[in-house]
Each structure stands twice: as C-alpha cells, then as structure tokens.
C-alpha cells in the first residue's frame, strides 16, 4: 500500500560537487533522507517507465537508506531498480551498470572518501542518464524543491531481501539484484590486456592493495588475486564494514598509514595502491616512493597507446584547475586536445560526451577515462600495472623517467579546515579584489607574472564558471586558492602549490615548496584572517 507522509522541509539540502554529504546523524533525522529523495523524484517528474541503478559503499545507514529508497521508488511509479547484491556497488561500477543497461540514472549512497559510522558521514550521489554527475542546473532545481517539500510517498512493505541475485517485484516495480562485481570485471577485461598482467604476476611481481574496509575489497579480490594471480593477501582490509573498521577511507599520505608502512619497509612489495570508500579515488606507490596524482595523470596519458582500448588514439585529456600543469606538457608532446576545468567531475562528463577527451583527472586522487562517466580507482591501478608489465620498469623508474623527459612539477595541497564560512568567504573575496595589483610584485623571492580568477567557459553547453583564484609566478610556478565543498561541516580553504623545475629533479617536495608556501600565506593573509599558522592536512 502507498502511504503519503506529511513532512516539513530542511534548509540545508544543497548538493556539492560530490552530491549531498552530511554527518550520518544529520541524515538520520526524521524524514531528512526521505525529503531529499522525494525532491529528486519531484524534479525528475513523471517516473513511469524509469529505470535506476542503486547501491552504496556499505557505510553505516546504507542498509536502511536503500530500503527506504526502494519503497519510495515503488510509491512514486518507478518501473525498475537494478541493485547491487547486499546493497553494494562502487561508484565506477554503478556508472558502468547504468551505461550498459541504458538506464535513466543512478544512486550511490556514499560520502566517498569521508569517514563512516554513526559519528561519521553519509552521502547521496545522483547521476543522470549520462552515468555522471548531474549539471548544476538540475541540482539547483532539486535544492529549490527541497526547500518547499510538504510530503513524500512511500510503499508500506517489509524490507526487500538484497542478498539473493535475481528478480522480484514491489507493487508494480521490478527489482533486479545483480552481482556488483561481474559487469565491472568484464569492462576492465575489454580495456586492458589481462593476459600480459597475468604473466607479470607469474614472474613473481608482488603488490598490496588497501581497500580501507570499504566497497572495493570484493572487486580487488576478484581482479587482482582470483583472475590475475596476485598472491593471497595482496588485498588488505578487504571486508566492507559500516565504520570502515575505524579507518578514514581517503587514499592519501595522511590516512593510508598501514599501506605506507608496508611500502616503506625494506622488504616492500613492488607496487602499492589504495582506493577510497566508494572506489573512485586511487593512490599509487612504489617501494619507498609516492606518485602524486598530478604526475600519475601525466604518466598515464604519456603511455595511453600501450592500452588495447586506446591503441588507436584518444580524443584528448583534461585536468581540474588545481591539478599541476604536468599533463599539459604531455598533451602538447602528443598533440592531444587539452582542457583545464573547474573542480567537479561533471565538467569532464561534458567533454567526454562531446568526444573532446578520453582521459582526465584531478589532484584529489581521482583519474578516469570515458569508459564510464566517473573517476575509477581500480582502472587507474590496472593502467599502472599495464605500464609496469610493458616497460619492465618500477614505479619509481617510470616516474623519474617522466621527470627527465618533461621536467618535474613539485606539488602539494595545503588544507586549512574547519573555518567559519563567513571568514573563508571574506578571505577569498578580498583576495580576488587585490589580484590585479599583484603583477610584478615579489613574495619570498618569487615574482608574480599574472594573477586572476579561474573562469571556465564550457565549450559544450556555453556555461561560464568561476572556480578558484590563480597566482602565476615567472618560470612556471603557481598558487591556486579555492574553497572546498566536499566536507560535511565548516569551510575548507585549499591552497595548491606548484614549483616547476627542469634541472632539480630529486629534491624534497616540501622544501622545494616552502618559499611558495610563505608567499601563499602572505598574499592571502591566512594566519591573520583564520588564526592558523599551518595547514591541518598536507597531501
């Protein structure tokens, strides 16, 4: 039976670049989750005949949220749901299932790289029929709807058994439970040469993959251990847990401490990698060696033609504005189309759909290609393994070879977290106002060549977006400032520093960026305005 529930709106259901992310306890407030889902359904309109993909990363409240979603979809006239077994589905796998079945959209219940558990975070990602993030015009309509919602519809019924693969019905809606891994594995086998990768492991190659007790554990076990032949135990923290076993599932130098300890040991394996909570981010490590995401994107682009799916050429490559300029030099060398976009995967989707790019990536540990419309962590790992198998070089050798060929962008991101929104907004507004006056000025020995807001004019839909502020120094070094929308509380000022060198290729990154950090702090008056003398997180 369909029930109409009277409700009152919440005022804070505005989606960021990664969907709607809130503290778990906020999402669990009476009708909070239901209000937002109903707002999406109301925005879509007539749901008769619509088919959606549904899954999540297994974090706390995931099971309850999926059951509520199923019942609301049935009550609102959705024709069919395709759901990952036990409610599991990584973000890249969801995009693949969506595109393969030509559905009308998809929902992934995840806060991505944010911590889980009752005191952690929860999120809702909504993709349209492209398989990627919805455009701002749609998310704005959802937000407007959420501010005026008065009721939602839900089907009164027992919970659906999500453990058994197969089909069932709830009212007039069909429910199909699918293996969350098999379709994704099939897609990877169509992109990469699995036989050459099997030979790599047969030769004794060793790796460690950290799944952070999140959703990619089963994918990694199936691909790396069962299919490619990596030794058992190559995948660690492989069992998805509601609180990720207390781990913060963000694959970076701050949180991947267990993997870093393994890779920094004298008996380290040849290769290390990690994915985040929902499987769209990745970190790449060699023996006692870290590959920055910016360098990783550049290196993958340089080797694109060794991958079977790309051997006949690629359309081009794009990076987010804060990502280092390393890939721009590779694009120029290969005569590839090159784009710099605001932070947010939806900007890449437009370029993919219009066949302007094939590869893309962000400094925040996300890389991907047009095989889906999301970033893809395991795809990036398989790409790196393919380069190693083809060249016979180590991760460190591949990276150093790249620096010799193209120069090195020393690069780090400094996050100043938990700022009052009004303080952060005023800092950025005042900084933007003084940018024109910075040209020719010197800070910590660096002379400003130009300073301006980053404005992106989308070549596909004609939209214009301002996203961050850039200070360029003579010689190719730069600072990028932007406020982040990926947290669940407060504002985060992200400061991205880049020092480009063609001769000094083996220096300490932090030391190479110390003077630019001083300049960045001085230019934006960070300590004066926020009280912070140093960043909370450096990645």
Per-residue pLDDT reduced to its tens digit, 96-111 = 999 999 999 999 999 9
Give the whole-number percent of the chain exceeding pLDDT 70.
99
In the residue annotation, 112 being an active-site residue is answered as: yes
Q: Are strands 478-484 and 464-473 parallel, antiparallel or unpaired?
A: antiparallel
Q: State pTM to two decimals.
A: 0.94
Under 8 Å between Cβ of 132 and 373: yes
Under 8 Å between Cβ of 427 and 433: no
- Catalytic: which of 94, 112, 292, 296? 112
Which residue bears the tokens 């999406």?
40
C-alpha–C-alpha distance, residues 173 and 10, integer Å = 29
Residue among 468, 488, 465 nearest 479 (CA): 468
Alpha helices in 222-319 (DSSP H): 257-263, 293-302
Which residue bears the tokens 């913060």?
248
pLDDT tens-place string over residues 1-43: 899 999 999 999 999 878 999 999 999 999 999 999 999 999 9
C-alpha–C-alpha distance, residues 274 and 256, integer Å = 8
Identify the pLDDT of residue 537.
87
pLDDT tens-place string over residues 300-347: 999 999 999 999 999 999 999 999 999 999 999 999 999 999 998 989
Which residue bears the tokens 């439970």?
177
Identify the pLDDT of residue 489.
59
C-alpha–C-alpha distance, residues 157 and 72, integer Å = 11
Residue among 52, 192, 43, 62 nearest 123 (CA): 62
Identify the pLDDT of residue 307.
98
Residue among 25, 88, 18 nearest 53 (CA): 88
pLDDT tens-place string over residues 365-377: 999 999 999 999 9
- Under the banding of pLDDT at 50, 70 and 90, the label for residue 485 is low
C-alpha–C-alpha distance, residues 357 and 379, integer Å = 17
């Amino acid at each position: 039976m369909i029930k109409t529930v009277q409700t009152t709106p919440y005022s804070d259901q505005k989606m960021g670049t990664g969907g709607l992310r809130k503290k778990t306890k906020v999402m669990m407030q009476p009708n909070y989750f239901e209000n937002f889902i109903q707002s999406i359904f109301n925005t879509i309109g007539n749901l008769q005949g619509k088919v959606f993909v549904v899954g999540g990363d297994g974090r706390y409240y995931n099971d309850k949220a999926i059951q509520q979603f199923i019942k609301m979809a049935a009550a609102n006239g959705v024709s069919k749901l395709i759901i990952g077994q036990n409610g599991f589905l990584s973000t890249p796998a969801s995009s693949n299932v969506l595109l393969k079945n030509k559905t009308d959209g998809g929902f992934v219940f995840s806060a991505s790289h944010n911590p889980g558990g009752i005191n952690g975070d929860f999120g809702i990602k909504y993709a349209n029929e492209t398989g990627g993030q919805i455009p701002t015009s749609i998310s704005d309509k959802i937000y407007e709807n959420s501010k005026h919602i008065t009721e939602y519809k839900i089907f009164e019924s027992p919970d659906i058994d999500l453990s058994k693969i197969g089909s069932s019905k709830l009212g007039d809606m069909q429910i199909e439970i699918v293996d969350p891994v098999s379709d994704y594995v099939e897609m990877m086998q169509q992109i990469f040469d699995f036989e050459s990768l099997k030979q790599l492991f047969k030769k004794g190659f060793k790796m460690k993959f950290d799944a952070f007790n999140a959703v990619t554990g089963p994918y990694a076990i199936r691909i790396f251990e069962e299919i490619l032949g990596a030794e058992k135990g190559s995948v660690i923290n492989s069992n998805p847990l509601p609180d990720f076993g207390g781990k913060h599932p963000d694959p970076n130098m701050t949180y991947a401490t267990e993997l870093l300890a393994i890779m920094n040991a004298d008996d380290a394996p040849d290769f290390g990698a990690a994915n985040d909570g929902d499987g769209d981010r990745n970190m790449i490590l060699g023996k006692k060696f870290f590959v920055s995401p910016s360098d990783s994107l550049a290196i993958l682009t340089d080797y694109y033609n060794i991958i079977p799916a790309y051997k006949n050429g690629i359309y081009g490559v794009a990076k987010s504005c804060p990502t280092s300029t390393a890939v721009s030099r590779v694009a120029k060398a290969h005569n590839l189309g090159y784009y710099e976009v605001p932070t947010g995967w939806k900007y890449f989707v437009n370029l993919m759909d219009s066949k302007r790019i094939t590869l893309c990536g962000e400094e925040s540990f996300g890389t991907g290609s047009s095989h889906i419309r999301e970033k893809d962590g395991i795809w990036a790992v398989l790409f790196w393994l393919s380069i190693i198998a083809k060249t016979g070089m180590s991760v460190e050798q591949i990276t150093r070879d790249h620096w010799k060929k193209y120069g090195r962008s020393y690069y780090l991101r400094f996050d100043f977290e938990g700022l009052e929104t009004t303080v952060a907004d005023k800092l950025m507004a005042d900084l933007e106002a003084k940018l024109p006056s910075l040209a020719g000025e010197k800070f910590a020995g660096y002379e400003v060549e130009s300073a301006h807001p980053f404005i992106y004019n989308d070549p596909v839909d004609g939209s214009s977006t301002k996203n961050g502020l850039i200070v360029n120094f003579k010689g190719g070094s730069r600072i990028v400032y932007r406020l982040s929308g990926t947290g669940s509380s407060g504002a985060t000022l992200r400061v991205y520093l880049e020092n480009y060198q063609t001769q000094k290729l083996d220096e300490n990154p932090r030391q190479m960026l110390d003077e630019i950090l001083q300049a960045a702090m001085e230019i934006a008056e960070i300590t004066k305005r926020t009280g912070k003398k140093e960043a909370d997180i450096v990645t």
